[in-house]
Amino acid sequence: MKERIIMIGANGQIGSELAVALRQKFGNENVITSDIRPPAELKSGEIFETINVLDKDAVKALLVKYKPTQIYLLAAMLSATGEQYPMKAWDLNMNGLLNVLDLALELGIKKIFWPSSIAVFGPNSPKQHTEQYCVMDPNSIYGISKLAGERLCEYYHQKYGLDIRSVRYPGIISWKTAPGGGTTDYAVHIFFEALRQGKYASFLSENTELPMLYMDDAVRGTIELMDAPAEQLSIRSSYNLAGISFTPAMIAEEIKKILPNFEMSYVENDPRQAIADSWPASIDDAYARKDWGWQPTFDLEAMTKDMIENLKTNI
C-alpha cells in the first residue's frame, strides 16, 4: 500500500527531524507536516499546513483533504512548561489525542504514532532499570496526561482495532533542533553553551541521573516501530525505550575530554529538579528489543563526540 503521512506538531524537537527522515523514505508529496505555526524554513516540494490540533473541525478538514494512511501526533506541552500551565497542558495533551483518535476512527485512518514519555513513571516507580510494568504514579501534569494517553491508545486499539504505536521517549539529544520546555533540556543546552561560552550552569544537580537518547537513534527507532509487523507488537500502550543514562557530572566529564577548559556549575532550587527526582534513572526496554528488534547505537562517548563535531561547524 502506498503510504501517506500527516504529522501534527511537526515543528518541535522530534518532529523537525523525524519529518526529514520520513520525507526521505516516502517522498515529499507523501509527508504533510503541520503545526500551530509555520516552520522557520520550508524547502521546495515540502507540504505544510498550519493547524491547531484542538480545532477538531480544522483537523478533520486536513485529514479529508490529504487522506493520509498514517498520522503522527507530536503536538504536546512538555514537563517543565506543563507545570507552569497545568490546565493548558492537560487540554492540549489529552484533547489533542482524543481529537485525532476520534477522527481516525471516523475517517478510517488505521495507523497512528503517538509518543509517550519516561514522565509516566513517578516517585514510587523503581529508579533503576524501570520495567515496562511497575508502579506508575506520575506527579507532573505532563506525566499524568501521558499515562492517561497511553491508556486511551490501548483502549482504542482493543476496542476499535486502531493500529496505534508508541514509545516512552527519554530525554532526546540533538544538535539540529532545540528542545522546548522539558526537564531533560539541560543535556542539549550544555553542548551549545560549552561551545559558545566554555561553561554551563546546570539546573539539575550533579548526581541526577536520567534516561536519554540520541536523536539519530530516536528517529530510526520510531520508524522501525512503525515498520514492524503488527502481530509482533505485544504492547499497545507504549514501549519503554532506553538509550544512555547519565548525570550532569558524567556528561560534563565527557565534554571535558574534548574541551578541557569546559567549566560546569550547578544552580540550586530550580523547579525542574523535583520533576527529575520523580523520574527513573534508567529504563529496562526488553519488550522493545524482543518485539521489534530495538537497539540503540550511541553511547555517552559517541554522542558527545558527534554533538561537538557537528555543533562546531554549525553553531
Q: Is 79 in the site for ligand SER (CB under 6 A)?
A: yes
Minimum CB separation of residue 174 from ligand SER in Å reads 11
What number of chain residues touch ligand SER (CB under 6 A)? 11
**Amino acid making up residue 234:** S
DSSP assignment string, 139-153: -SHHHHHHHHHHHHH
Range 267-296, binding ligand SER (CB under 6 A):
none
Using a 10 angstrom Cβ sphere, with 0-12 exposed, 13-18 middle and 19 or more buried, the burial of residue 56 is middle
Nearest-10 crossing angle of helices 96-107, 141-160 = 10
Of 119, 188, 219, 283, which one interacts with ligand SER (CB under 6 A)? 119
* DSSP letter string, 193-231: HHHHTSEEEESS-TT--EEEEEHHHHHHHHHHHHHS-GG
Q: Is 133 a catalytic residue?
A: no
Please say which residue, 142 or 175, places its beta carbon nearer to ligand SER. 142
Write out the three cell numbers for 309. Answer: 563535531
For residue 186, state whether it binds ligand SER (rule: CB under 6 A): no
SS3 content of the chain, % helix, strand, coil (to 5): 45, 15, 40
Q: Which of 10, 18, 77, 78 binds ligand SER (CB under 6 A)?
A: 78
Q: Which is nearer to ligand SER, 169 or 246 (CB)?
A: 169
Binding mask 154-173 for ligand SER (x = CB under 6 A): ---------------x-x--
Among 16, 117, 174, 304, which residue sits at the site for ligand SER (rule: CB under 6 A)? 117
d(CA 144, CA 87): 12
Of the residues 66, 72, 133, 142, only one is catalytic, namely 142
**Which residue carries 553553531 as its cell?**
315
The residue range among 31-39, 54-62, 112-120, 213-221 that interacts with ligand SER, by the rule CB under 6 A, is 112-120
Q: Does 240 bind ligand SER (CB under 6 A)?
A: no
Instruction: By CB under 6 A, name the binding residues for ligand SER.
Output: 78-79, 117-119, 142, 169, 171, 182-184
Q: Would you name the residues annotated as active-site residues?
A: 142
